[in-house]
């Protein structure tokens, strides 16, 4: 049993400062809420690392993964569907939250709702945890009286998004690890092995073949000018990062990513799938089409797609169709544009968008499998070519010296 100091307000708004004994901080908070006290701050009597100022400036930063948010949303939906009040749901979810920052965030949301604010408005004050699409779908659920349905749909959307992220990571992990191994082995050979052969070659007294000269030059540069190489790499990386932060730089970078050999097609399919899923989820949840397009453009993750969606939003605002600006963008294939046109004419746009998302999810799966099958022999071939070239450059002078001795 520990003692906790707390600051709270009672039912009529008076400030209360006192102490309470409890097994842990969550139990103390629960006990105070059962006394109809609104907790403002609570901490162990001696203070320290475990103090949690609800509403203060010292709250720990929330560290909430996509999976954690999916679980939270699922549980929230289940409790709302069972008839529990929103504040009681938030109290329960805050008590069982593992991350201190997320716990503090949920307590703040609960206090805001208890003060008379809408749930969506309370969530919007924590953009680090709850994105624009999350807040707007909650707002649509509050307006329609179907909050449990909207939360369930939101959880399904986030699960699909997390699944898509995992697919991308699985597609990128193998080539990245393979390239690191290839460059590591190559660097080891050039820095530690090749220099030992250089003195031997100098004592041979024969003209060195061109491959051997090139490998020796590269080895000398890596051995004697490595600091320039590291400085150049760091400067290049920093320059690319700063370039991507500019509007034009981000557009150029995203365009290059879509045109990248092997991976460009995968990135395009991912972008289209994410666009269609987000757009369909917002429309089906009751968000107005202009508001939905605004959110989609902000969460697109690709400047080329974002530009196309923004152009479509302006076209709709001026009374034109959604599909025409998308057709002018290089990222949308004709099939997607035609399906959106049919959806606009038939009034079933969200249904066709879901079909597009499902189709491109399958395409992403197939592309990831194909890339995995393709990349493995490519990496093996690249490693064999590099190591073979280095080994050949070492043996060529020896063969040449043997020929000279034979003559």
Look up residue 318 and give its two tokens: 């001026």
Look up residue 99 and give its two tokens: 């991350």
Cβ(234)–Cβ(240) under 8 Å? no
Distance from the Cα of residue 89 to its chain's centroid = 28
Burial of 104 (0-12, 13-18, 19+ CB in 10 A): buried
- Predicted TM-score (pTM) of this structure: 0.65
Residues of the chain below pLDDT 50? 1, 47-57
Distance from the Cα of residue 222 to its chain's centroid = 35
Helix 247-259 to helix 264-284 angle, to the nearest 10 degrees? 110
Return the bridge partners of 3, or none.
21
**How far apart (Å, rounded) are the C-alpha atoms in residues 149 and 144?**
10
**How far apart (Å, rounded) are the C-alpha atoms in residues 160 and 365?**
13
Look up residue 183 and give its two tokens: 């460059």
Whole-angstrom CA distances from 270 to 36, 247, 358 are 49, 22, 11
Look up residue 300 and give its two tokens: 């697109």
Which DSSP helix (H) or strand (E) runs through 129? none
Look up residue 70 and give its two tokens: 């999916």
How far apart, in Å, do the first and last CA atoms of the chain sit? 94
Return the bridge partners of 4, or none.
20, 44
Q: Which residues contact 383 (CB under 8 A, 6 or more apart)?
A: 178, 181, 182, 185
Burial of 36 (0-12, 13-18, 19+ CB in 10 A): exposed
Query: Model confidence over 71-106: pLDDT tens digits?
Result: 999 999 999 888 888 888 888 898 888 888 898 889
DSSP conformational letter for 189: I
pLDDT score at 38: 80
Residue 44: HSE in the Cβ half-sphere, 13 Å Cα cutoff: 10
DSSP conformational letter for 52: B
**How far apart (Å, rounded) are the C-alpha atoms in residues 305 and 402?**
63
pLDDT score at 356: 92
38: closest CA among 68, 59, 66, 7?
A: 7
Look up residue 44 and give its two tokens: 């162990």
**Burial readout 315-333 (b: 16 or more C-beta within 10 A, e: otherwise):** bbeeeeebbebbbeeebbe
pLDDT score at 238: 94
Cβ(112)–Cβ(125) under 8 Å? yes
Residue 72: HSE in the Cβ half-sphere, 13 Å Cα cutoff: 24
Look up residue 51 and give its two tokens: 């103090």
pLDDT score at 54: 45
**How far apart (Å, rounded) are the C-alpha atoms in residues 339 and 397?**
65
């Amino acid at each position: 049993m520990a003692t906790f100091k707390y600051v709270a307000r009672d039912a009529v708004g008076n400030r209360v400062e006192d102490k309470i004994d409890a097994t842990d901080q969550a139990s103390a908070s629960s006990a105070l809420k059962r006394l109809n006290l609104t907790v403002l701050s609570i901490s162990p009597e001696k203070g320290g690392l475990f103090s949690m100022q609800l509403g203060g400036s010292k709250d720990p930063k929330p560290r909430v993964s996509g999976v954690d948010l999916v679980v939270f949303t699922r549980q929230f939906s289940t409790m709302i569907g069972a008839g529990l009040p929103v504040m009681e749901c938030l109290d329960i979810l805050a008590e069982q939250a593992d991350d201190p920052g997320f716990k503090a965030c949920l307590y703040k949301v609960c206090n805001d709702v208890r003060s008379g604010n809408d749930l969506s408005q309370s969530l919007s004050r924590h953009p680090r945890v709850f994105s624009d699409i999350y807040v707007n779908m909650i707002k649509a659920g509050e307006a329609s009286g179907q909050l449990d349905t909207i939360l369930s749909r939101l959880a399904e959307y986030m699960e699909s998004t997390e699944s898509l992220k995992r697919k991308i990571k699985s597609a990128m992990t193998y080539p990245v690890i393979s390239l690191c191994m290839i460059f590591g082995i190559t660097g080891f050979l050039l820095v530690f092995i090749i220099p030992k052969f250089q003195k031997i070659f100098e004592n041979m007294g024969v003209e060195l073949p061109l491959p051997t000269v090139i490998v020796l030059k590269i080895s000398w540069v890596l051995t004697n000018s490595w600091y320039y190489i590291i400085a150049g790499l760091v400067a290049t990386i920093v320059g690319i990062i700063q370039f991507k932060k500019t509007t034009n730089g981000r557009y150029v970078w995203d365009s290059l990513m879509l045109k990248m050999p092997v991976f460009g097609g995968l990135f395009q399919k991912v972008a289209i799938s994410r666009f269609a899923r987000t757009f369909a989820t917002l429309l089906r949840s009751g968000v107005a089409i202009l508001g939905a397009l605004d959110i989609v453009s902000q969460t697109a993750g690709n400047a080329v797609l974002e530009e196309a969606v923004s152009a479509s939003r302006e076209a709709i605002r001026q009374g034109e169709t959604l599909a025409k600006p998308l057709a002018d963008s290089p990222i949308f294939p004709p099939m997607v544009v035609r399906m959106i046109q049919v959806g606009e004419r038939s009034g079933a746009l969200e249904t066709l968008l879901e079909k597009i998302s499902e189709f491109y999810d399958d395409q992403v799966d197939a592309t990831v499998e194909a890339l995995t099958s393709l990349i493995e022999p490519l990496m093996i071939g690249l490693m064999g070519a590099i190591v073979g070239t280095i080994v050949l450059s070492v043996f060529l002078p020896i063969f040449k010296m043997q020929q000279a001795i034979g003559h």
